[in-house]
Structure 1
Amino acid sequence: MRRLCWLICLGLIVFSDPAWAQERLNVVASFSILGDFVRNVGGDRVNVTTLVGPDSDAHVYVPTPSDAKRVADAKLVFVNGLGFEGWLPRLVKSAGGKADIVTTTSGIAPLKLGSEADPHAWQSVANAKIYVANIRDALAAVAPADAEAFKSRANAYLADLDALERDVREAVAKIPESRRKVISTHNAFGYFAAAYGIEFIAPLGVSTESEASARDIAGIITQIRAARIPAVFLENITDPRLMGRISAETGARVGGTLYSDSLTGEKGDSPTYIAMVRHNIKALTSALSR
């Protein structure tokens, strides 16, 4: 009798608790930074699969057959858009073309690099908040029973992003204006530059698929010398030899590694978006304030 009562009580708990009664929502994020945003909003109500993982380059990513299955099995597929995932249409087609695609940069005014849109909008914390709002709304639309939970988690994360934005602005304000110039590996920091007033010069274009020519490198070296640029920075997704050569020929110090298109693994120094931005601003202020 006692065992029967226990089973009845357990059954009541299971069917009354949404966390037990509902399966988690299967969603896909195209790359690691976006995956972190989705996990912060979705919490334990979602299973998040990230296609382009930590320390990997979405510009040159080649989807696998298993990726097609992940997309086919997902309720939502969160993407950056703005031309960032050039491989996405083929992947969606191979997955059956039924995936519900959420473009998380919707509502963001894109910067331009020549005739192309700059896809790296997350480098502005204000833009990151738009990503989060788009994710919140998309999750709530397909899982209305969990809408309040998504809203609550999003609000908490948005408050953390507000604090991050204040800290970044305070840190940049301490750098002398004449020293707010750096060389980075490719044009991933346009939104950061526009938001916070640090000038980034890159020997590569918007995509890491392009190669810097000898003329490009010579031009960068001349510019560093003329403008007295104090530091050059590596990125975690690109070849460090280019920056090493430029540093050796100009005397500009290598200020460390900046994270642009990818997070690190859990044991790295930038496993989350907030950790990434804090790492980058610490590296920048350390190199430029000297």
Structure 2
Amino acid sequence: MDAWRARVDAALASALDGLDGTEPALLAAMRHAVLLGGKRMRPQLVYATGTACGAREDDLDAAAAAVELVHAYSLVHDDLPALDDDALRRGQPTVHVAHGEATAIVAGDALQALAFSLLAHAPLADARRVAMLAELASASGAAGMCGGQAFDLAATGGAPITLDALERLHAMKTGALLRAAVRLGALAAAADAATRSALDRYADALGLAFQIRDDLLDIEGDSATLGKTAGKDAAQDKATFPALIGVEASRARLRELAQRMQDALAGCSGDTRALAALGRRVIERDH
């Protein structure tokens, strides 16, 4: 997985280096958003899924970089004053703090466009490439990440929310892009229908686990370790799993989701050890 992280970092740097003639302030903001760290969870899911299903790493680079660029753009916009109004990300000033709010908005837009450009030029058969573009678009838009963000805005400020609605919110806001990363790897490898179904079950459990762990870290972690401001959820009265069902019930849910991931991977052919390791990392992470 360290090798995959280095591989996608190189692909991301190369994509940004290729933006000849870009206005310098815009390019600096894009580099800030992408190259200053991050867990690279989504690209590693692309590589872990694709290689488990028989794809070559060369066939996965574009998808791995594209999903990370979409994630990076979403963070730039999430941190803006109109949304989460955060000043710290990955231990650094957020893009709008470092480069100005207007430049941050444009940088996020440009990162999203770059993601789809990279995927459109992936060295794959046309049908696979189009399917991957459709998957990333669906996961990013109103039916996925952006739609989940809208539900999150509606639920902020103490508005009542049910557990089912909270799970749906996060299945869209957080889970959709994680699930897309898994699906992109499977599409690049032309995985069979049974394997794709098992991988979807794994990805759904992983996405929900990722968010529950994030909610717990917001109340249990510190800003230095997290690399972002701790305690923001409570301060903004956001809908979270600990707030709705309590800390212990949230931890119990994490254990249940860990088992669901393990059960789902048992239904996959190929070497799924990297996917299992990423699932454990989601459950156990401290940032």
Structure 1 or 2, whichever has the larger Rg, is 1
Q: TM-score, normalised by structure 2?
A: 0.31
Between 1 and 2, higher relative CO (CA 8 Å, sep ≥ 6) is seen in 2
- Determine which structure has the larger helix proportion and give its number: 2
Q: TM-score, normalised by structure 1?
A: 0.31
- Determine which structure has the larger strand proportion and give its number: 1
